Amino acid sequence: QVVAIRPNRRISHGSITEDEEEEEDHDDVVMLEKKIRTSSMSEQALKVCLKEIKRLKKMPQSMPEYALTRNYLELMVELPWNKSTKDRLEIRAARIVLDNDHYAMEKLKKRVLEYLAVRQLKNNLKGPILCFVGPPGVGKTSVGRSIAKTLGREFHRIALGGVCDQSDIRGHRRTYVGSMPGRIINGLKTVGVNNPVFLLDEVDKLAKSLQGDPAAALLEVLDPEQNHSFTDHYLNVAFDLSQVLFIATANTTATIPPALLDRMEVIQVPGYTQEEKIEIAHRHLIPKQLELHGLTPQQIQIPQVTTLGIITRYTREAGVRALDRKLGAICRAVAVKVAEGQHKEAKPDRAEVGEGEDCKEHVTEDAKPESISDTADLALPPEMPILIDFHALKDILGPPMYDMEVSERLSQPGVAIGLAWTPLGGEIMFVEASRMDGEGQLTLTGQLGDVMKESAHLAISWLRSNAKRYQLTNASGSFDLLDNTDIHLHFPAGAVTKDGPSAGVTIVTCLASLFSGRLVCSDVAMTGEITLRGLVLPVGGIKDKVLAAHRAGLKRIIIPQRNEKDLEEIAAHVRQELSFVLAGCLDEVLNAAFDGGFAVKARLEHLNSKL
């Protein structure tokens, strides 16, 4: 009997436990239903949820679908259907925050302030869909975070680089095992409000695969006319995304599908000029690196002339990432000296680093009250702060990696200075031409693209058709420039791929110099597209090209007449130091490129009467 009773007790004990668990689960379901009814979800979503909760009540817990349905309902309750943060709309405060966080980027800041101003006048404004396009390292991602801080909104970043499955955007249907919502709905659940700032990072690096095209899935998300009823496959009910501020970032628009690009407002974020990089380094990068390495301004001093040396000789980039790394390397080298306690200060020639000594004295005097107390703690040697000059740069960073672009005296005919644009900024380019006896062939070297090759053919055709007018002859005195003559055009550096129409005027000037035997002015650089009629058409990248010419010490720049509007983007002090020649046709280009002009020889044609 004893043996028979024990199992009964166990069974009864077990049945009590199961009843308790069932009651707890029933209470949880009741609680979940209460949350659903009190939530502020849309009518359609509420209808779906109540239907699902009825099914859940009838379902035994052992069924796999029980957990799936419960997870779905919990997600629906957690989503911020009507919960939003209040925007900070003080434009003056917003301008201060943006200026403190980022130097330059005027177009971008202006657009954010415009949104704030309109938001003050209209409460239910749809969030704009912006796309920041620019080279790496110029601060596109960080400015998105700064915009969220300015508006007082939550911030969520979605990295799209390499995403090749449209389910990442739209989610999986609940019929699949392991289904889950897409990144948009997941992000909303994470931030807990329906009006965050969403940063869609690297939107130009989406990939296609057998699982679909995520760029096509983004069309619905980024369309203001559709995203008020965005339907995630997992939710299967519409969710309003119209209050979300979407910011996409990209390095180029070439790889973004046209339909997706059409839905976004593209704002170009250009690379920084040298002056802007110096300001960014001293306002943001150097203080950040000092804090990261546990140093203080009383221990290390980096003058502006040294920062300029790092920018021009050790980095070649549009952004400031490499500059940040070089400053970090300097701080690590100084940290070693400070930690060892035996500082061999990089002793500069005081005459060479004129500003450095002044900076050092200035910093030491300003820091005297703090440094007295600090000296006792850190046992600092009397030679503080360590002054970083060019000698110290060479010791820490090694020999300079890049030579500075400088103009050189043009000593022979057949050479002209052109201006090129790269994603890393502008550059000057020497175009060289030579001629030799041959069969009338044109040889082009320097890794040129198709458009640039066509520009060279255009230039030679225009010169051949105008050879008599300008008295241009080949070696044998013939006006047919390619008669028994080969021409070779070279564009250094040979390893760098080049393309684009803007070298047209430079090629014409170079060839005109070669056939006339006259030297092009050494202080003139030029850019512009040409036509067969001899017109000069506008080109892009004028700001970067002009700054490159200014850095190289050139004084006169020939640009297309229709590019005059682009000169407004250039700083006033740079414009004052340069003289600009606005050319509408090749006659004006040649007159400006040669000393004393490039005169047209007017010859009277004697017409013989046939009468």
* Digit-coded pLDDT (tens) for 556-575: 999 999 989 888 888 888 88
Helix, strand or coil, per DSSP, at residue 500: coil
Question: Could you tell me the strand order of the sheet in which 556-560 lies?
Answer: 442-445, 485-490, 425-437, 415-422, 524-526, 556-560, 579-583
Beta strand segments in 395-462, E: 415-422, 425-437, 442-445
Q: How many CB atoms lie within 10 A of CB 379?
A: 8
What gap in Å lies between CA 381 and CA 383, rounded to an integer? 6
The predicted pLDDT at position 424 comes to: 66
379 band by pLDDT with thresholds 50, 70 and 90:
very low
Side-chain half-sphere CA neighbours of 453 within 13 A: 10
Under the phi-then-psi rule, with left for phi > 0, alpha for psi from -120 to 50, and beta for the rest, what region is 14?
alpha
Q: Provide the CA 382 distance to its chain's centre, in angstroms.
A: 44
What is the CATH architecture of 273-339+384-403? Orthogonal Bundle (1.10)
Q: Per-residue pLDDT for 267 more than 70?
A: yes
Identify the three-state secondary structure at position 377: helix
How many Cβ atoms are within 10 Å of 562's Cβ, its own excluded?
Answer: 14
pLDDT value, residue 385: 83
What pLDDT band is residue 363 in, cutting at 50, 70 and 90? very low
Domain ranges across the chain: 29-78, 91-268, 273-339+384-403, 405-593
493 token code pair: 């550096």
Tens of pLDDT, residue by residue over 492-545, are 877 677 778 888 899 999 988 888 888 888 888 999 998 888 889 998 888 888
For helices 43-58 and 2-38, the axis angle rounded to 10 degrees is 170
**Amino acid 130: pLDDT:** 92
| Catalytic residue numbers, as ranges | 502, 545
What is the pLDDT at residue 106? 87
Homologous superfamily (CATH) of 91-268 is: P-loop containing nucleotide triphosphate hydrolases (3.40.50.300)
**CA separation for the pair 26, 66 (Å, rounded):** 13
pTM, two decimals, is 0.76
Is the pLDDT higher at 608 or at 325? 325
d(CA 111, CA 118) in angstroms, rounded, equals 11
Q: Which amino acid is at 531?
A: T
Q: What are phi and psi of 265, to 5 degrees?
A: -90, 110
- The residues near 72 (Cβ < 8 Å, ≥ 6 apart) are 52, 174, 234
Whether 405-593 and 91-268 are alike in CATH topology: the answer is: no
Range in 119-123, 194-198, 473-477 the model is least confident about: 473-477
Q: What would the pLDDT profile of 146-191 be if each residue is shown by its tens digit?
A: 999 988 999 999 999 888 888 889 999 888 888 899 999 999 999 9
Alpha-carbon span 390 to 393, nearest angstrom: 5
Across the chain, mean pLDDT equals 81
Does 20 score more than 80 pLDDT? no
Among 132-141, 245-254, 263-272, 344-353, name the one with the lowest average pLDDT. 344-353
Per DSSP, the three-state class of 431 is strand
What CATH number matches the domain at 405-593, 3.30.230.10, 3.40.50.1820, 3.40.640.10, 1.20.1530.20?
Answer: 3.30.230.10
Phi and psi angles of residue 375, each rounded to the nearest 5 degrees, phi first: -60, -40
Where does 398-541 have alpha helices with state H? Answer: 450-465, 467-470, 504-516
